[in-house]
Amino acid sequence: MRSPALLVALLLSGQSAMAEVTVFAAASLKTALDEIAADYSGRTGAKIVVSYAGTPALARQIEAGAPADVFISASRDWMDHLEEQGLIQPDTRRNLLMNRLVLVTSLRVPFRHTLRTGAEVTALLGEQKLSMALVDSVPAGQYGKEALTSLGVWDEVKDQVIQSENVAQALRLVAIGEVPFGIVYWSDLPKGNDTVKSVGLFPEESHSRIIYPVALTTEATEPEAAAFLDYLATVEAVAVFKKNGFYAIPLRRTNCFLPHYPTACDLPLLPAP
């Protein structure tokens, strides 16, 4: 059975077969969102143009007037910032996905599932380099720094960190063997490719919850943008996100932690990948 959002999108496509929606999305979403956008276009005829980069770069582009219709951030803080600037439509904002943080390597290292202590991390790294996204501005890097700080080893390893503009670039350095270890999202791990392997997940309590909010920008005035936003929560889209290592936030909890939400409700701990 087709979902209501999909039926709406199909009806809209009959009115505007060449409709175009511009999406700005965090780099970590690329594999999943490319598939979702292609599926949506195939079903509706609408053209979905997705621009991927680090969340801060995308937010600054929107601030500078870039013509985005939908923004999917890897950080609540950057979405808060755009909301404060009056650049998104607050009533369309919701939390879409959650993720996990993982230490990865291209070396032969046993999988530990969860890295409980800083001593485990430093024993693995030794004096080797660690690839991360920018630790003071890009969400993946910020979460990674937060986790290492919580485990008490940031000061010890910070001089070993090689920083990249986004998490996809940080992962690539590990994949090509330039840097032996990296901190990325669980969803970034290549599927069906053992070039990069997980060493262990960071404890969820060691860093802020990794939440991906989504919203329409104030530039989005066409109904096709709203239809695509709704499609991201359909069974079809959620299946793709799940296949790529994301956890879809239940609809009844999509408003948790939003600035205009009256209370901060609890989100469930993520199931073990």
Domains in the chain, CATH or no CATH each: 4-97+211-253 (3.40.190.10), 101-206 (3.40.190.10)
Residue closest to 65 by CA, chosen among 217, 170, 267: 217
User: In the predicted model, is pLDDT for residue 152 greater than 80?
Assistant: yes
pLDDT digit string, tens, across residues 102-134: 999 998 887 777 898 999 999 999 999 999 999
User: In the predicted model, is pLDDT for residue 154 greater than 80?
Assistant: yes
Residue closest to 69 by CA, chosen among 232, 224, 211: 224
C-beta of residue 88 within 8 angstroms of C-beta of residue 94:
no
pLDDT digit string, tens, across residues 46-69: 999 999 998 999 999 999 999 999
235 confidence band (pLDDT: 50, 70, 90): very high
C-beta of residue 69 within 8 angstroms of C-beta of residue 222:
yes
Helical axes 223-231 vs 30-44, angle rounded to 10°:
120
C-beta of residue 150 within 8 angstroms of C-beta of residue 207:
yes
Mean pLDDT for 153-177 is 95
C-beta of residue 1 within 8 angstroms of C-beta of residue 234:
no
Predicted structure pTM score: 0.80
